Amino acid sequence: MTTPPPTPPDRTPTAAAEPGAGSAGATQDALRVAIIGNPNTGKTTLFNALTGLRQRVGNFAGVTVERVEGGFRGPDGRRITVLDLPGSYSLSAGSPDERVALDVLLNRDGGHWTPDVVLVVVDAVHLERNLFLAGQIIELGLPVVIALNQFDVAQAEGITIDVPELIHELGVPIVPTVAKRGEGLDPLKRALLTATTLPVPSRKFVLPPAVQQALAPVHACLVAGGFSHSAAGMEALRLLGGNRTEPHLVDVPQLAERVQEAAASLKAQGFSPSRLESEVRYAWIAQVIERTTSRPRAIKRNLSDRIDRVVLHRVFGPLIFLVLMAVVFQAVFSWAAPLMDGIEGLIATMGGAVGDRMTDGDLKSLVVDGVFGGVGSVLVFLPQIAILFAFITLLEHSGYMARAAFLMDRIMRTVGLHGKSFIPMLSGYACAVPGVMATRTIEDPKDRLATIMVVPLMSCSARLPVYTLLIGAFVPATSLFPGLTMQGATMLGMYLLGTVAALAVAAIFKRTLLKGPVRPMILELPPYRWPSPWSLLVSVAQRCQLFLRRAGTVILALSIVLWALATYPKTPVDNALPEEIQQEQQLEHSILGQTGRAIEPLVRPLGYDWKIGVSIAASFAAREVFVSTMGTIYGVGSENEAALTEKLVAETNPVTGKKVYTPLIAIGLMVFYVFALMCISTIAVTVREAGGGALGWKWATIQFAYMLALAYGAAWVVYAGGTALGWGG
């Protein structure tokens, strides 16, 4: 039998101090608020407005769905902790995201996070659709506060909402807000504090007597299984058309039998069990809307509709998407250049200042060549990564990403998926880990697994330092036409190559190991909105912080290890030889050099020398390590990243005298990195998302193996084909 949930927290008036209580409130326990809402309601914007940068990102216990938790001080000084639950259209638990939200709200996640108050964010413009989820949550027996967000947009469209009457209809506090401008936050904070002092809300409509009678045994079964009286009522109605094998229900004795009996009884009386919840809830919602909301009779084509006539056009739509991507990648080069120069100068100054104050020896070499040469060569790419994340966040928050998924639906269906799978793939442009986690919104297990298998083919921000280093060194900045150079076009080509490959591989999986029907896509197109500058800043700052943390931990540690491998054992050299020759001999006889020589036969068919081979091997932990390894090998020391590109361009084979790095080698190396899975974090999240245990490792192994084979084969084709055409010089 399922263990009953813990006793809910005290709901007496002393549980939360009234606003204005002064410092006394600060001594009370933190108030825990779970925030939930439909996608595109401004939930994340409101969360960011409430918590600012006082957030931390992790995973829900036992699953890899990202959880973002933050906090702030209430008007009375009391600490309020906020958990941002995944966006959900209902508590039907049709996707893993919705199951996580349901488990937290029902206190079925192992007691890891029990909310004191639930903050439901609803879109004032689409109130009727949003009240379905709000109505379900009101029936859970928890204090509820509703944020009536985007209230300004509703007013601009001539929608009038009688807020006091709506409060009366729903029986919970309702606060109009405009999250992107921070309006309504103070009343909302006060409402959260006082919500625990109010009567617990309950269902606001009455089921037909026949339905009540049929569901009574199901209700009793759930109460006996540990559900509260109110939550059992919501679950009993939901289960008529939902999944009866959900983890939090499988241990409730005889539940499946009682639900089947109730469904059979209702069907015999002329009801449709699978549609019953929708019918009764929307009938109630229609009455609420009629009594509280008025709309203008003449429905004008709004701005979003007018924009969509162009953006979603069969011909112009894909072209606009391609142009936007070209602008993004050109901006990554042109806009970031001054900032990169500044960081290069700062690193050079710091490295020189530190080196000048140290005596010659291994310690100085460690600091200058290992730390500044390794980590510094990666940090210089921070502006480009920030610009990339800013563009991706801007497209997401503005509402364009949903249009991109809609545009791609026709192409996705040809490979056996639908446009909804393209959203996690687009997320993969930033990072494969959240991209893989974003597949939890896909209901069909085979579609979800096929998407997981191809998300890492989308060029993530970790590949950006590799692309930028090689493009900056070997691709000229020749202007193709106004606004786009050869460098930007090459970058765009790498991203398109990964995207096309992902679609091709998905088609193979959907026709072989993961064969299944193509399901229709149901996707809401949110209205276009100007993103909140603060929300945009928070999102970009979080991603930059993760990159810096990675540079300061994983890359720093690997840089130190690689420096040691490149420095020892010490080899006697002829002091009469030029210094560069001495350094080359020392490097070749070091542990790193000997390892590279062992690896070289494997990469020689691709045109690579041992230095590239050992840098590739080191970067299997993280792709950015390729750049830091090259920086360590070439001993750039206190010099900036531009010095590394100059050394790559000038590097020659001491035996043949030929250039080690050519444009053909650079293109082949970038193609290798387009396809290769070099990210331990992605492998780990694939294992868990693909089923965990032996099953998860099976799919992760398949993913790693096919991507490595694809990378090696594609790089060989580029090198062999280019050499045959005489491009190898």
Query: What would the pLDDT profile of 206-248 be if each residue is shown by its tens digit?
Result: 999 999 999 999 999 888 888 888 888 998 998 887 655 565 5
Write down the pLDDT at residue 166: 96
- Asked if 227 contacts 106 with a C-beta cutoff of 8 angstroms, the reply is yes
**Residue 27, exposed/middle/buried by CB under 10 A (0-12, 13-18, 19+)?**
exposed
- Asked if 692 contacts 641 with a C-beta cutoff of 8 angstroms, the reply is no
Pick from 105-114, 179-188, 232-241: least confident = 105-114
Instruction: Of 92-96, 172-176, 384-388, give the range with the top mean pLDDT.
Output: 172-176
DSSP 474: H
Q: For residue 35, list its beta bridge partners.
A: 84, 119
Tokens standing for residue 94: 């049709």
Residues 124-147 have pLDDT tens digits of 998 998 999 999 999 998 999 999
Query: Could you give the CA distance from residue 671 to residue 601 in angstroms, rounded to a whole number?
Result: 20
Per DSSP, the chain holds a count of helices (H) and strands (E) of 32, 11
Confidence of residue 573 (pLDDT cuts 50, 70, 90): low
Query: Could you give the CA distance from residue 304 to residue 389 in angstroms, rounded to a whole number?
Result: 24
DSSP 683: H
| 396 has pLDDT over 90 | no
Q: Most distant CA pair in the chain: distance in Å?
A: 101
**Mean pLDDT for all residues in the chain:** 81
Write down the pLDDT at residue 640: 39
Write down the pLDDT at residue 298: 54
Pick from 512-521, 618-627, 661-670, 706-715: least confident = 512-521
| 559 has pLDDT over 90 | no
Residues 370-391 have pLDDT tens digits of 677 667 767 777 887 788 778 8
Per cent of the chain over pLDDT 70 is 85
Write down the pLDDT at residue 582: 66
- Asked if 658 contacts 709 with a C-beta cutoff of 8 angstroms, the reply is no
Per cent of the chain over pLDDT 90 is 28
Tell me how far the alpha carbon of residue 99 is from its chain's centroid: 18
| 37 has pLDDT over 60 | yes
Confidence of residue 550 (pLDDT cuts 50, 70, 90): low
Tokens standing for residue 266: 């209702």
Is residue 40 classed as helix, strand or coil in its secondary structure? coil
Query: Could you give the CA distance from residue 723 to residue 281 in angstroms, rounded to a whole number?
Result: 68
| Mean local confidence (pLDDT), 702-726 | 94
Domains of the chain, with CATH numbers?
13-197 (3.40.50.300), 209-294 (1.10.287)
Query: Could you give the CA distance from residue 135 to residue 150 in angstroms, rounded to a whole number?
Result: 19
- Asked if 173 contacts 263 with a C-beta cutoff of 8 angstroms, the reply is no
Q: For residue 476, list its beta bridge partners.
A: none
Helices 556-567 and 625-633 pack at an angle, to 10 degrees, of: 30
Q: For residue 67, list its beta bridge partners.
A: 58
Query: Could you give the CA distance from residue 521 to residue 115 in angstroms, rounded to a whole number?
Result: 33
Q: Quick one: CA dihedral 82, 86, 89, 91, positive or negative?
A: negative
Helices 336-356 and 641-650 pack at an angle, to 10 degrees, of: 90
| 322 has pLDDT over 50 | yes
Look at the block and give the residue holding tokens 């409730």. 252
| Mean local confidence (pLDDT), 325-342 | 78
Query: Could you give the CA distance from residue 172 to residue 199 in angstroms, rounded to a whole number?
Result: 9
Could you tell me the pTM of the whole model?
A: 0.65
DSSP 528: P
Confidence of residue 111 (pLDDT cuts 50, 70, 90): low
Report the amino acid identity of residue 253.
Answer: P
Tokens standing for residue 288: 């609420």
Helices 591-603 and 579-589 pack at an angle, to 10 degrees, of: 80
Tell me how far the alpha carbon of residue 703 is from its chain's centroid: 20
Q: For residue 144, list its beta bridge partners.
A: 118
Write down the pLDDT at residue 4: 37
Tell me how far the alpha carbon of residue 410 is from its chain's centroid: 24
Pick from 60-69, 130-139, 334-343, 479-488: least confident = 60-69
| 27 has pLDDT over 50 | no
Tokens standing for residue 443: 């209901």
Query: Could you give the CA distance from residue 217 to residue 326 in angstroms, rounded to a whole number?
Result: 60
Tokens standing for residue 129: 């659709």
CB within 8 A of 453, min separation 6: which ones? 505, 506, 509, 699, 702, 703
Tell me how far the alpha carbon of residue 332 is from its chain's centroid: 20
**Residue 285, exposed/middle/buried by CB under 10 A (0-12, 13-18, 19+)?**
buried
Query: Could you give the CA distance from residue 665 to residue 715 in angstroms, rounded to a whole number?
Result: 9
Nearest residue to 432 (alpha-carbon basis) of 675, 672, 615, 696: 675
Element spanning 333, H or E:
helix 316-334
| Mean local confidence (pLDDT), 261-290 | 91
Residues 445-461 have pLDDT tens digits of 888 899 999 999 998 88
Write down the pLDDT at residue 112: 67
Confidence of residue 561 (pLDDT cuts 50, 70, 90): confident
**Residue 129, exposed/middle/buried by CB under 10 A (0-12, 13-18, 19+)?**
middle
Length of the chain measured in residues: 729
Residues 622-673 have pLDDT tens digits of 787 888 788 777 763 334 344 678 878 888 876 677 888 899 999 999 999 9
| 24 has pLDDT over 50 | no
Tokens standing for residue 341: 């120069």
Query: Could you give the CA distance from residue 566 to residue 587 in angstroms, rounded to a whole number?
Result: 6
Query: Could you give the CA distance from residue 416 to residue 512 in angstroms, rounded to a whole number?
Result: 11
Nearest residue to 39 (alpha-carbon basis) of 148, 99, 121: 121
Is residue 594 classed as helix, strand or coil in its secondary structure? helix
Query: Could you give the CA distance from residue 631 to residue 7 in angstroms, rounded to a whole number?
Result: 58
Q: For residue 34, list its beta bridge partners.
A: 83, 118
